[in-house]
Structure 1
Amino acid sequence: MIALEKATKPLKGDIFVPGDKSISHRSIMFGAISKGTTEVTGFLESADCLSTIDCFKKLGVEIEHTVRPTHGVPTITVHGKGLHGLKKPDSTLYTGNSGTTTRLMSGILAAQPFDSMITGDMSIEKRPMARIMKPLTSMGAEVVSVMGNGCAPLAFTGGKTLRGINYHSPVASAQIKSCIMLAGLYAEGDSVVYEPALSRNHTEIMLASFGADIHNEVARDGSAVAILHPGMPLVGRKVNVPGDISSAAYFIVAALMVPGSEILIRNVGINKTRAGILNVLDQMGADITLLNVDESSEPKADILIKYSELHGNENNQFIISGKEIPTMIDELPIVAVLAATGNFDTIIKDAAELKVKESNRIDTVVEGLRSMGCDIEATDDGMIIHGGKPLKGADINCHSDHRIAMSFAIASLAATGTTRILDDECVGISYPTFFKDLQGLL
């Protein structure tokens, strides 16, 4: 448990946030199934990403973890085995709390010549896996939910011949898309995934840089399309992981909330499929400037944020919906916190995907903000936040959800009294030094 108080002075500082979690996961996975060596700098040393490393070590991949003494940047060296070089693990692969590890690795395991099983912690064993089991089965894989409930543990029968498919995903999900693309590397024929909106495209960008024949298109009906032509060998390379915009979001909101604040966050990924929060905050009137923009490969920039008085539209409300949602799904809890401090109503909809994260984030956000005095209501696919009521300190049960813990730590900066985060250790899932970095700005 950690106790936090209202900020009594502006937040000032120049900081780096940890490496992007999504890119860190993929750098290990793609390096492991490539030929040659992959060197990853800026890797996120969080529980989730370390779970990915552990799983591939069990699959016979040699992975070295060093810290360069000159500047303390972690470097991961992956000695790739190629597409067909993984070995049968001696035990069940354990992914901890990582949905990304579980779902993306499933695409790889489905194509192996050996049997395997994958599972995670109690949270993972409740999260829906039928969404990847269905397309994998259509590709010819044999995968079953051991408990028969569409969740992990998942058991894979090896030696199956996979075929490419055209798959229409009911939701914009980078995990579903990436799982199919990874299985598609081993399949006969092209794999094509249609989504209602373009989800995170880190897989497409990085796989192409490793040598895969993969790209995105827009269908005539407006659907986002990812297309993989198999047959090209993957070759190891150097990967520089930018800072995670999902981690930067907490400090972006903190600066906007606390009068007089000014924070510079350096080297943050601004991939358009992830940077929806910047677009939304710009529409609200936030004073945010991108500096030193680098558009190569994964776009990145320094982000300068200054305290701002935000506003809604002419009806004194702001709506976040539709294609904006996939580009900021992980940032919606912290955006809800910011909305609670505004003098307008904020409506978040089309975000039912929040229900199947580490916690039901619709319920946990509403529960937490309501306990702090916010006028907020849950809907089937989001929430309605009536801003303008002062926040007060409260005890926050994060339900072991790292994004809820960090969001309410930031909420405490605008709340009178003491806010206690009851299970604060869960921030280690994605941002182990979060509280230290926050304290450095106060």
Structure 2
Amino acid sequence: MIDYVTQPGGKLIGRVRVPGDKSISHRAVMLGSLAEGETRVTGLLDGEDVLSTLAAFRVMGVRAEGPEQGSLVIHGAGLHGLKTPQSALDMGNSGTAMRLMAGILAGQNFDSELIGDESLSKRPMKRVADPLCRMGAVIQAAEGDRPPLRIKGGQKLRGIEYHMPVASAQVKSSLLLAGLYAQGETVITEPAPTRDHTERMLRGFGYDVQTKGARISLRGDGKLKACHIDVPADISSATFFLVGASIAPGSDLVLEHVGINPTRIGVINILKLMGANIELLNPREVGGEPVADIRVRAAKLHGIRIPGDQVPLAIDEFPAIFIAAACAEGETVLTGAHELRVKESDRIAVMAQGLKHLGIDARETPDGILIKGGRLQGSEIDSHGDHRIAMSFAMAGLVSAGPVTVRDCKNVDTSFPGFAPLAKRAGLSIEVQGGR
């Protein structure tokens, strides 16, 4: 068991670079493994989630050197060069890995099984399994449509036209990856924009992907050509520092080389609506992804009704946004975010419970939360093993009236190895207890 203990006071100052983007790192490993030739990746997140994805491809015969200080060389096997795994493929804590891998494995000529840790084994897979089965895949899930997933090989996939009932980058990406192996055209229509890293990266690997408004399409039987990928810093990881610097008086922090993909900047838009002082410096494009340095200074925040069109663009960042809302003047209202209930934890319920422990009026709704800003008290918080909840409540310690102890923080390493030392260097008074 690993716990965080943060002491009140302090401010975030200076320049920091958070680890590489997890979503892009997953996709770099996957497409690099399926490409022809040698793909070089720099800035890779070497957290446990991404390492699980890399380990799965190694089990299927892909050679890779690294990662070492964020650098990885992948010797691609080609779309049809993966080998039969001799054991189940363990996706650890990563829903992204499991759902995207399901799309890839649906097109292979061998049987496979995807498993995960206790948390991942509780997460629903029906919304990705159903459309894959419509394409011709044969997938068997455990009771309640949960992992493990057993995928039968040797199926002839066919392209389909699919109108997604719920906005989900994971489902969209899984179907696009299955579409690489399908006969004909795979067409996906989104009800709202979601992160488009898969489409961008497929184009970077030389694959033709068409996007017209909410419609994304590709045809099967092409090839992926190896390339170089420079992974920007993860905006989801930067979010904890954006919120911490916004709420802690006297803070002035620059976050370097952060990905600012338009489908991922909901957190910046929402914090600005709340009155945050955030500035994008030196915007540029790296490997097809927009990047900038982000300067954030302390500001007086106020509660807002979060716009519905921003919810899919900030779905992973809401635990930290809830901390900002707890420190804001007035009430913040979120609706249309039922997706938060099926993440690594029920993030609506767990955050509401934790905020109440800190003395904040937080009321759950079926698809959101109402948070009335106030003075945070010190308390003990159970993160329920959810990495984003652990880091969010750690930042709350900057402005709490007493120490904040966050229990069960081991899973922070899945997405942000080195979080505590980096936060400490920036100015958060944090101590790690337990573990080694």
Q: Shared fold by TM > 0.5? A: yes
Contact 2:382-2:406 within 8 A present in 1 as well: yes
User: Following superposition, which runs of at least 4 residues in structure 1 exceed 4 angstroms of deviation?
Assistant: none
Match of 2:301 in 1: 310
Name the CA distance, whole Å, in 2 between partners of 1:74 and 1:142.
Answer: 36
Match of 1:121 in 2: 117
Name the CA distance, whole Å, in 1 between partners of 2:133 and 2:83.
Answer: 22
Helix, strand or coil: the match of 1:86?
A: coil
2:299 maps to amino acid: S
Match of 1:330 in 2: 316
Contact 1:266-1:303 within 8 A present in 2 as well: yes
Match of 2:175 in 1: 180
2:380 to 395, 399, 424: 395
Match of 1:354 in 2: 340
2:72 maps to amino acid: I
Match of 2:5 in 1: 3
Match of 2:238 in 1: 248
Identity of aligned residues (%): 46
Match of 1:137 in 2: 133
Contact 1:321-1:350 within 8 A present in 2 as well: no
Match of 2:155 in 1: 160
Name the CA distance, whole Å, in 2 between partners of 1:203 and 1:79.
Answer: 20
The alignment covers a number of residue pairs equal to 424
**Deviation, structure 1 residue 230:** 2.2
What does residue range 24-423 of structure 1 map to in structure 2 within 5 Å? 24-67=25-68, 73-145=69-141, 147-218=142-213, 224-295=214-285, 297-312=288-303, 318-387=304-373, 389-423=374-408
Contact 1:98-1:120 within 8 A present in 2 as well: yes
**Deviation, structure 1 residue 280:** 1.4
Name the CA distance, whole Å, in 2 between partners of 1:150 and 1:66.
Answer: 34
Name the CA distance, whole Å, in 2 between partners of 1:371 and 1:33.
Answer: 47
Larger CA deviation: 415-424 vs 265-274: 415-424
Contact 2:44-2:67 within 8 A present in 1 as well: no
Question: What's the CA shift string for 1:96-153, capped at 9, x where partnerless?
Answer: 00111100000011110011111101111110101111011000011111x2320111
Contact 1:211-1:232 within 8 A present in 2 as well: no
Name the CA distance, whole Å, in 1 between partners of 2:12 and 2:392.
Answer: 16
Name the CA distance, whole Å, in 2 between partners of 1:122 and 1:320.
Answer: 32
Matched, 1:441 2:436: no
**Deviation, structure 1 residue 195:** 1.4
Name the CA distance, whole Å, in 2 between partners of 1:62 and 1:415.
Answer: 48
**Deviation, structure 1 residue 66:** 4.7
The normalised TM-score by structure 1 is: 0.94
Name the CA distance, whole Å, in 2 between partners of 1:158 and 1:259.
Answer: 57
2:252 maps to amino acid: E
Name the CA distance, whole Å, in 2 between partners of 1:281 and 1:91.
Answer: 45
2:116 maps to amino acid: G
Helix, strand or coil: the match of 2:279?
A: strand
1:66 to 1:151, Cα distance in 2 relative to 1, 3 A? closer
**Deviation, structure 1 residue 311:** 2.8
Q: Which has the higher contact order (CA 8 A, sep 6+)?
A: 2
1:304 maps to amino acid: R
Contact 2:15-2:256 within 8 A present in 1 as well: yes
Name the CA distance, whole Å, in 2 between partners of 1:94 and 1:380.
Answer: 32
Contact 2:4-2:394 within 8 A present in 1 as well: no
Ranges in structure 2 where 5+ consecutive residues have no aligned partner = 428-436
Helix, strand or coil: the match of 1:213?
A: coil
**Deviation, structure 1 residue 432:** 1.1
Name the CA distance, whole Å, in 1 between partners of 2:94 and 2:67.
Answer: 23
Contact 2:302-2:325 within 8 A present in 1 as well: no
Contact 2:182-2:219 within 8 A present in 1 as well: no
1:202 maps to amino acid: H
Helix, strand or coil: the match of 2:144?
A: coil
Q: CA RMSD of the aligned region, Å?
A: 1.0
2:40 maps to amino acid: E
2:27 maps to amino acid: R
Name the CA distance, whole Å, in 2 between partners of 1:66 and 1:148.
Answer: 36
1:385 maps to amino acid: I
Match of 1:221 in 2: none
**Deviation, structure 1 residue 92:** 0.4
Ranges in structure 1 where 5+ consecutive residues have no aligned partner = 68-72, 219-223, 313-317
1:351 to 1:321, Cα distance in 2 relative to 1, 3 A? farther
